[in-house]
Amino acid sequence: MSLDISQDGQGAIAEARRQAEICNACRYCEGYCDVFPAMFRERAFSDADITQLANLCHNCRGCYYACQYTEPHAFALNIPAALSEVRAESWERYAWPAGLGGQFHRSGVAVAAALVAGIALMLLAMWSWAPASGDGFYAYLSHTVMVAIFAPAFLFPALPLYLGLRRYWAEVGGGPVGWAHLKEAAARTANMKNLSGGQGQGCNFEQEDRYSNARRHAHQATLWGFLLCFASTSSGTVLHYGFGLEAPYGFFSLPKLLGVPGGVLLTIGAFSLAWLKTKADPALGSASRWGGEMAFVLLLGATGLGGLVLYAATGSALVPSVLALHLGTVLTLFLLTPYSKMAHGAYRFAALVRDAQARP
Amino acid sequence: MSDPSGTTWDVIVAGGGNAGLCAAIEAAERGASVLILDVAPKAYRGGNSRHTRNFRCMHQGPLSVLTDSYDEDEYFDDLLRVTKGKTDEDLARMTIRMSEECLPWMEAHGVRFQPSLSGTLSLSRTNAFFLGGGKALVNAYYNTAEDLGVSVIYEANVTHIDIAEGRFSGLDVEIGGQTKRIKGKTLVLASGGFQANIDWLAEAWGPAARNFLIRGTPYNRGRVLRDMLDQGADSVGDPTQCHAVAIDGRAATFDAGIVTRLDCVPFSVVVNKNGERFYDEGEDVWPKRYAIWGRLVAGQPEQVGFAVIDSQAINDFMPSVFPPETADTIEGLAQKLGLPGNALKETIDAYNAACRPGTFEPNDLDGLSTEGLDPPKTNWARPITEPPYYGYMLKTGVTFTYLGLKVDRTSRVSTAAGKLENVWAAGEIMAGSILGEGYLAGFGMTIGTVFGRIAGQEAAAHVA
């Protein structure tokens, strides 16, 4: 299996290099995103250069529709697809433990199976350790059990991600990271500059050669929604341990004020991304990973939606079942983070930092 | 779409490149029903515009991505220099003046510009580059045209224009293997040059033309142009004149576009197949000399040249798509390039001996000239002494031909009997009206945009 991946990797990198050398002699796409100025700084491309370019690419597809050398031309350029392949293979290669990467990237069924397992685990936990008493959720799953499951689940992804990023950084030759680099990368993430088409017109995703900001906005909603939800959960932890304020929280509490808009944004954003994905041409991405990517986006959306439904169901008989579904979804999302599309956030950010270092 | 032969179109546009699209958009915005017939399949729509990258534009001060200013007289002087005076001053100046208002019009119709590309900084004042290049421009115009209700048929091969008593009434077109007759009230001819028709090129150039490469679309075969000339349309231009540059000799016969461009000539020694030099490689900065080397190479035996550089120069120019031949000796390189080794060695030795000390400055005319060499190399004459040595084969790459239809200020086509009542021409098919010889980067798109817009406006006014 791992042998296959490495041969595959060479194939994808070699193909991306072939294409980049043609791009470098043309340069018409310089203004679309950060990939092309980075490409045009080089005269030859090492494997690491190609990996860095691939992780810098946000798959906006502007360059594909503008390209005079796409099929049926003999040069057969398809930069978005070539870089998608390299990018996904790099995440799979960096995944630790090795070999866990491929499954969830490629297979929607594997993601779904993980989700079923996560929900089953939560049901089992609720059934096995049903608390004698408690308020709100804690009536069905004690705070102790929740912490016992989720503290490791939240912390665990950090290790493989750290190990992967460390390998990435060494491979692309990253230097010591300064505040200026982080600031630039954060600014580009915050406004998704690389999905802006270079001039704010957006990308060429769901309506072919017409520009649209739909994907950029959906991605923003997803990103910010996820961060708000994460902040909501963290604020709950702080309130619980720092101030002795235990759930359930009222609407005008920090966890709810962060969590409700976060959940709404995450739900709308992720389901919009999924819908846009059904409209876009799969041949301009990593076609073999479409299923895994789609399942991941839906999992994100389900995480947001589950939280909102759970809030709406407060006090009803639905709470225990919705709780199991929601917690199972969250658990799956976190445990899969280093091995699914979720990891792209970390590598993309690293690529942006690296690019900030390399820019003249 | 429904059968196009069922309606009488207000405006039929033959050719769906930049000029045709500008005409179609202008006409449709004035309420005309418009049909574009493009001979290429959709993937290759847009003619040569698909391969273009910028638009030469007059401007009084900074305009969009253009820096500083570029006034009419300077623009016209640039044109005079490259055409050696072979231009129509009235039409040329009108084109130049109108280019300024074209740029905002282009932006308003979906075209996006970007700052001068890396490696082309010398053009940042005069040429506005399209974001994504010409295909992105073509896509933007097709979307705008579609939103205006313009109909488009791809793979539509116009075989005959029906003109009687100075009036166009319809045309014959092959679509899906069937010949249809489509009726129209007006016609805009925007079907490009004939450079992809090698037989026609050979009529003018002789067998040399068989060794030419065609840089752009294989679909500009000049069928419409020939039909119009056969019917007595006034023509302009010399059939041997064209925009031709020296490109990598390994390029495909058609459609290789920009990436086979070789920018190494000023830093090289260029020889013919006998290993002999034939022209001053360092005459001027490359963008100004880019467009003469196609003809220079065409004048050599077998229409082939070879640029030789050493490792000092390999990073002084933009990379091209094919890696150069490489060897550690001049004789070794000669062998790989298929040149006589002794002759090449003698040429390089003589050149090296004629080089004088001085400072090599790749981006400026550095005055580093040979002494006592014929022909001289008047700039960037640095000895070729540091292996590995690199060599590129050069062939003539034809961009577009100049022989075309003569038009007036309103873009109208005429015959010996006078102006045709309802036929206009725009783009490469009439560029010879302004370009007698030579070429100015980005001027083809200027001619196409200016005359395309005029033709569309005139046609719409005619049916209004």
Nearest CA in chain B to A27: B117
pLDDT at A289: 93
Contacts of A173 (CB under 8 A, 6+ apart): A48
Fold of B4-205+216-236+402-463: FAD/NAD(P)-binding domain (3.50.50)
Residue A8's pLDDT is 40
What is the structure's pLDDT at A2? 31
Q: Which of A122-136, B19-33, B61-75, B273-287 has the lowest mean pLDDT?
A: A122-136
Answer whether A127 touches B (CB < 8 Å): no
Judge if the upstream peptide bond of residue A360 is cis by omega within 30 degrees of 0.
no
**DSSP track, B3-57:** -GGGSEEEEEEE--SHHHHHHHHHHHHTT--EEEE-SS-GGGTTGGGGG--EEE-
The pLDDT score that the predictor gives to residue A86 is 96
State pLDDT tens for residues B104-149.
Answer: 999 999 999 999 887 777 789 999 999 999 999 999 999 999 999 9
As a whole number of angstroms, the distance between CA A33 and CA A39 comes to 11
- Note whether A65 contacts B139, CB cutoff 8 Å: yes
Tell which residue, B190, B217, B188, has the closest CA to residue B48: B217
Nearest residue to B211 (alpha-carbon basis) of B159, B157, B272:
B272
A360 touching chain B per CB within 8 A: no
Q: What mean pLDDT is predicted for residues B168-184?
A: 97
Averaged pLDDT, B33-44: 97
**Band of residue B282 on the pLDDT scale cut at 50, 70, 90:** very high
**What's the confidence (pLDDT) of residue A9?**
42
- B259:A74 CB<8 A: no
| Partners of residue A125 on adjacent β-strands | none
* DSSP, res B307: E
Domain ranges for chain B: 4-205+216-236+402-463, 244-397
Provide the pLDDT for residue B1. Answer: 63
- CA-nearest of B456, B434, B427, B442 to B116 is B442
Q: What pLDDT sits at residue B363? A: 86
Chain B CB contacts of A26 below 8 Å:
133, 257-259
Residues of B in contact with A67 (CB under 8 A): 132, 135
Predicted complex ipTM: 0.94
For position A130, what pLDDT does the model report?
83
At residue A16, the pLDDT reads: 97
What pLDDT is attached to residue A96? 85
pLDDT at A4: 35
Q: How far apart, in whole angstroms, are the C-alpha atoms of residue A271 and residue A114?
A: 20
The C-alpha of A94 sits at a distance from chain B's nearest C-alpha, in angstroms, of 32
What torsion do the CA atoms of A40, A42, A47, A51 make, to the nearest 10 degrees? -40
Q: Are B452 and B426 in contact (CB under 8 A)?
A: yes
Confidence at residue A10, expressed as pLDDT on a 0 to 100 scale:
57
What amino acid is encoded at A78 in this protein?
N
Q: What is the pLDDT averaged over residues B410-430? A: 97
The region, left, alpha or beta by phi > 0 then psi within -120 to 50, assigned to residue B165 is: left
Residue of A nearest to B136 (CA): A66
Cβ-based contacts of B445 with chain A (< 8 Å): none
Q: Note the pLDDT of residue B228.
A: 98
Residue B136 and residue A40: Cβ atoms within 8 Å? no
Q: Is B214 helix (H, G, I), strand (E, B) or coil?
A: strand
Average pLDDT in the B91-113 region? 98
- Please name the CATH architecture into which domain B244-397 falls: Alpha-Beta Complex (3.90)
Question: Which pLDDT value is given to residue B122?
Answer: 78
Q: In this complex, do B132 and A70 lie within 8 Å of one another by their Cβ atoms?
A: no
Q: How many CA atoms lie within 13 A of A17 on its CB side?
A: 15
- Tens digits of per-residue pLDDT, B54-89? 999 999 999 999 999 999 999 999 999 989 999 999
- Which chain B residue is nearest to residue A70, measuring alpha carbons? B43
Select the residue from B48, B55, B64, B112 to test the A interface by mutation, using most A Cβ atoms within 10 A: B112
Is A226 an 8 Å CB contact of chain B? Answer: no
Put simply, the answer to whether B139 touches A71 (Cβ < 8 Å) is no
Q: Which among A22, A31, A210 is the nearest to B259, CB-wise? A: A22
Nearest CA in chain B to A75: B256
Q: Which residues of chain A are modeled with pLDDT < 70?
A: 1-10
